[in-house]
Amino acid sequence: MTALMAAAAAQSAPLKRLKSPQLDEIGRAAGALPDSIIRASAKTVALVPNGYWGGQYMVGSGETVTIYASNSYAVDSALGQRWANFLGSLVHGSELSTVTVLLSTPDQISRVCGSGALACYSPQGALLYAPGDDPSPDLSAEAVITHEYGHHVAANRVDTPWSALDSGPKRWASSMQVCARTKSGELSPGAEGPARYDVNPGEGWAETFRVLNQRKLGLAESPWEIVTPALYPTSAALTAAEQDVVNPWQADTSTVRTGSVTRTSRTRTYTVSTPLDGTLKVALRSSAGLRLALDVYASSTRVAHAAGSGTLSRSATVCGARTYRVRVSEVSGRGSFRLSVAKP
């Protein structure tokens, strides 16, 4: 969908303040679950969005969930409470209280999300447009909303140096080798158009989130149709996905080692375990009068090198390799050193 067409669609949509949107409309095969991600500077909807009713509902955990329903649905607090309870039953974290769900008619969804889409999510404003009724006998509204909520989870997770919304949260993405498979051309993070949507790991994550919750809630598992079977989660990937939700990865961890080089021990080698993809950073500081070489290896391939005195720093992208070797070698002089390693 062109930006011009998307802007025209947004003008008649409930999100009146959506500015210059670019709606990535998702192509659809029969029985698939089309959605879209609104990548625009949307602002949070008004207290009561135009054409909707509802508000905040408390769930059993004491958390609040914001639910609005189209005026096409009869005003009934039980409807909003039912959907709030359903969202509260999903595996979730603190992001639950930040989402705004707008239960909408197919026409309203088409105007905002794009023609043919069943739902969409905007990370700006944390807005989730979804049907309040089952789109078809073979596809439940619960399955659609669970998929979209998976996008909301990803939007509130970190996968430095990548976008979790595009590639999936860090543990799941690492388990599924998203970086290496993207590098090989197999996957296309952020691809929302019909040509590569089925190999978009961000959509694979949202579908994995759906499968995870349907299994935990004892619900019938919807068919895996909208993304490649190669993204169907293994048991390890499902475990990683749940950890991404309930125990999100926050930042790198750092370790420090000290050592020395002597006439008989001129080289020191350290093995670094890298179970998660991301950025490996090493910093080497030598004592006065000592010149060192710093080399970083993934298997037998050297991925970083530096030589000199004082402080040497290098980084490498961890992309599928699960161990690295860091070698410190004496160039000239004798003395001690301090090696700092930060990894995902």
User: Residues of the chain with pLDDT > 70: what percent?
Assistant: 86
| pLDDT > 60? residue 25 | no
3-state SS of the chain: helix, strand, coil percent to 5? 30, 30, 40
Residues 90-93: contacts with CB within 8 Å, 24+ apart? 90/146, 90/149, 90/213, 90/217, 91/209, 91/212, 91/213, 91/216, 91/242, 91/245, 91/246, 92/149, 92/153, 92/245, 93/153, 93/156, 93/245, 93/246, 93/248
CA distance 105 to 108: 5
| pLDDT > 80? residue 248 | yes
**What type of residue sits at position 271?**
T
Assign 47 a pLDDT band (cuts: 50, 70, 90). low
Assign 44 a pLDDT band (cuts: 50, 70, 90). very low
Structure tokens at 313: 């720093």
Query: Of 6-15, 192-201, 271-280, where does mean pLDDT reach its minimum?
Result: 6-15
| Residue-wise pLDDT tens digits, 111-140 | 999 888 999 999 999 999 999 999 998 899
φ and ψ at residue 85, rounded to 5 degrees: -65, -40
CB 80 within 8 A of CB 61: no
CB 59 within 8 A of CB 121: no
- Cβ-Cβ contacts under 8 Å for 41 (sequence gap 6 or more): 19, 20, 124
| Residue-wise pLDDT tens digits, 183-241 | 999 999 999 888 899 999 999 999 999 999 999 999 999 999 999 999 999 999 999 99
CA 129 to each of CA 13, 113, 153: distance values in angstroms, whole numbers, following the listed order: 11, 8, 15
CB 274 within 8 A of CB 322: yes
Distance of CA 264 to the CA centre of its chain: 49
Q: What is the pLDDT of residue 107?
A: 93
Q: What is the pLDDT of residue 35?
A: 65
CB 261 within 8 A of CB 290: yes
**What type of residue sits at position 201?**
P
Burial zone of 144 (CB within 10 Å; 0-12 exposed, 13-18 middle, 19+ buried): buried
pTM of the model: 0.85
- Cβ-Cβ contacts under 8 Å for 42 (sequence gap 6 or more): 15, 17, 18, 19, 21, 122, 124, 125, 127
Greatest pairwise CA separation for the chain in angstroms: 84
Please give the span between the terminal C-alpha atoms of the chain, in angstroms, as a whole number.
37
Assign 38 a pLDDT band (cuts: 50, 70, 90). low
Average pLDDT of the residues in 138-160: 96
Helix axes 141-155, 77-89, angle to 10 degrees: 60
CB 156 within 8 A of CB 191: no
